[in-house]
């Protein structure tokens, strides 16, 4: 709610959720809001032409932030708003700007940009004294053969704005680099980037184990909510995440150091309020922040997180956003894990078998196939989704991980080649 507005007695706090059409997260937030008796309004990224055609009351085109902010301001003038939350990376910068315009708690827009743009992030981390791998930025029109002659290998090629490891490719020599560059460039161009303005980031490949930290910032102070191990090696050439398991099996001192490094990185970026999701690597050189996003964990992964007496991650985030007491943020429910089922190859998904058997594996709490049948599948590095998710709990992280792997082994996917029609005439 705007600080100059007075909340009417008995009014339900209202939260605006900003999301892309493909988000997995909206349902969990709506369920959490119902448990808290909050009024939730979802604003989905929609092209301006469709907003005007359909007369959507809160239709927003995220690519036109000034118009979107004006629409949100007009809505807030008629309906008191207590918080604006971004559910996807595409909305974090808009959420920060809109919340600032409405006088709501928010991250500085520059900080939101730093958590969205990999080049801006690396620059902010370096200025803040946070270790970063050697990195350079190049225009899309650059000849990759020239770049290959001036960089040490191995390296990773990254689009500066895409998330979920899309377009992220490792190269160990000049030949692999040229192929990785061309592939990543095509991915960026298909996403609408212009050839003359687009850029790619090239940075030194960091070996080591990888973890994910889920946290909550309150006035710049970080509270670690969960730390996930990623037991499958992420060594390239692509970096598709599969298994997350919590609690972490790393030594307590290492876990504490990971939380400290994450807090330092958040401060360097200027983030101060709300959820963060961080990816870090640990090796003999130290702890490295790979990515940090100003939103909660992606996909359906939050399903395995439970706090206090059955409180979900989304409930904690909503409580924080509207100023309700957080109650317990201690994770409960024992060890838990989730597998993001990878797409083995591109094509048309025709059949999924073994679901019943996979769901009956001891420790498995759910198997959800989210990819629709008879629709095309695109694996990484071009793709942006998974076949589905497997959820498990166990007496230990090892037990939860074993259940996920056993369940996944029982699934079978029939994927047929896509047929390309060629016009004749």
Give the dihedral of Cα atoms 240, 315, 22, 389; nearest 10 deg: 40
Task: Tell me if 227 is assigned to some domain.
Answer: no
Tell me what the mean pLDDT of segment 320-341 comes to. 92
- The rounded percent of the chain whose pLDDT value lies above 70 is 94
pLDDT recorded at residue 269 = 98
Indicate if 346 and 414 belong to the same structural domain: yes
- CA 261 distance to own-chain centroid: 19
Indicate if 87 and 173 belong to the same structural domain: no
- Using the predicted structure, report yes or no on whether residue 212 has a pLDDT greater than 90: yes
| Residue where a domain terminates, one of 66, 91, 106 | 106
Indicate if 98 and 139 belong to the same structural domain: no
pLDDT recorded at residue 2 = 41
pLDDT recorded at residue 424 = 59
Task: Tell me if 362 is assigned to some domain.
Answer: yes
Task: Tell me if 377 is assigned to some domain.
Answer: yes
Task: Tell me if 365 is assigned to some domain.
Answer: yes
Indicate if 95 and 149 belong to the same structural domain: no
Task: Evaluate whether 281 touches 260 at the Cβ level (below 8 Å).
Answer: no
Of the segments 81-90, 256-265, 329-338, which one has the largest average pLDDT value? Answer: 256-265
pLDDT recorded at residue 5 = 40
Residue 405: partners with Cβ closer than 8 Å, 6 or more residues away: 243, 339
Average pLDDT of the chain to the nearest whole number: 92
Indicate if 422 and 338 belong to the same structural domain: yes
- Using the predicted structure, report yes or no on whether residue 406 has a pLDDT greater than 70: yes
| Residue where a domain terminates, one of 89, 106, 123 | 106
- When pLDDT is cut at 50, 70 and 90, the band that residue 173 belongs to is very high
| Residue where a domain terminates, one of 152, 170, 204 | 204
- When pLDDT is cut at 50, 70 and 90, the band that residue 385 belongs to is confident
Tell me what the mean pLDDT of segment 123-143 comes to. 97
Task: Tell me if 66 is assigned to some domain.
Answer: yes
Tell me what the mean pLDDT of segment 392-420 comes to. 95
Task: Tell me if 114 is assigned to some domain.
Answer: no
Residues 269-285 pLDDT 10s: 999 999 999 999 999 99
Task: Tell me if 384 is assigned to some domain.
Answer: yes
Indicate if 342 and 396 belong to the same structural domain: yes
Tell me what the mean pLDDT of segment 32-38 comes to. 95
The domain that holds 143 is classified in CATH as 3.30.1490.20
Number of domains into which the chain is organized: 3
pLDDT recorded at residue 215 = 97
pLDDT recorded at residue 94 = 94
Tell me what the mean pLDDT of segment 362-375 comes to. 96
234-to-35, 230, 284 alpha-carbon distances in Å: 38, 8, 17
Indicate if 420 and 339 belong to the same structural domain: yes
- Using the predicted structure, report yes or no on whether residue 3 has a pLDDT greater than 50: no
The domain that holds 46 is classified in CATH as 3.40.50.20
Tell me what the mean pLDDT of segment 351-376 comes to. 97
- The domain of 141 spans 134-204
Task: Tell me if 24 is assigned to some domain.
Answer: yes
């Amino acid at each position: 709610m705007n600080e100059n507005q007075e909340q009417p007695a008995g009014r339900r706090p209202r939260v605006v959720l900003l999301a892309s059409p493909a988000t997995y997260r909206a349902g969990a937030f709506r369920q959490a809001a119902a448990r808290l008796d909050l009024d939730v309004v979802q604003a989905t990224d929609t092209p301006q032409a469709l907003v005007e055609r359909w007369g959507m009351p809160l239709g927003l085109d995220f690519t036109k932030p000034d118009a979107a902010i004006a629409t949100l301001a007009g809505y807030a003038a008629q309906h008191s708003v207590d918080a604006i939350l971004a559910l996807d990376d595409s909305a974090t910068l808009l959420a920060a700007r809109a919340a600032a315009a409405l006088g709501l708690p928010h991250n500085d827009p520059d900080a939101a940009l730093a958590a969205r743009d990999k080049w801006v992030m690396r620059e902010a981390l370096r200025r803040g004294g946070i270790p970063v791998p050697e990195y350079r930025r190049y225009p899309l029109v650059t000849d990759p053969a020239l770049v290959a002659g001036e960089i040490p290998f191995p390296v990773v090629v990254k689009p500066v704005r895409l998330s979920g490891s899309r377009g992220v490719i490792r190269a160990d020599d000049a030949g692999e680099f040229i192929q990785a560059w061309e592939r990543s460039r095509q991915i960026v161009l298909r996403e609408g980037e212009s050839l003359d303005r687009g850029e790619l980031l090239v940075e030194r490949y960091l070996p080591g184990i990888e973890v994910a930290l889920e946290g909550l910032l309150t006035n710049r102070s970080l509270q670690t909510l969960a730390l996930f191990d990623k037991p499958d090696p992420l060594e390239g050439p692509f970096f598709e995440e599969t298994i997350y398991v919590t609690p972490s099996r790393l030594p307590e001192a290492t876990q504490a150091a990971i939380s400290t490094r994450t807090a330092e990185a958040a401060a360097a970026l200027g983030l101060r309020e709300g959820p963060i999701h961080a990816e870090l690597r640990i090796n003999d050189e130290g702890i490295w922040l790979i990515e940090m996003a100003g939103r909660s964990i992606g996909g359906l992964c939050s399903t395995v997180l439970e706090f206090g007496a059955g409180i979900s991650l989304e409930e904690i985030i909503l409580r924080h956003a509207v100023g309700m007491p957080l109650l317990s943020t201690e994770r409960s429910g024992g060890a838990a894990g989730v597998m993001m089922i990878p797409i083995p190859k591109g094509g048309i998904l025709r059949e999924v078998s073994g679901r019943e058997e996979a769901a009956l594996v001891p420790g498995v709490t759910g198997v959800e196939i989210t990819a629709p049948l008879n629709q095309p599948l695109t694996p990484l590095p071009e793709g942006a989704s998974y076949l589905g998710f497997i959820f498990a709990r166990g007496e230990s992280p090892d037990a939860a991980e074993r259940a996920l792997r056993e369940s996944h082994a029982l699934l079978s996917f029939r994927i047929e080649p896509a047929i390309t029609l060629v016009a004749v005439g």
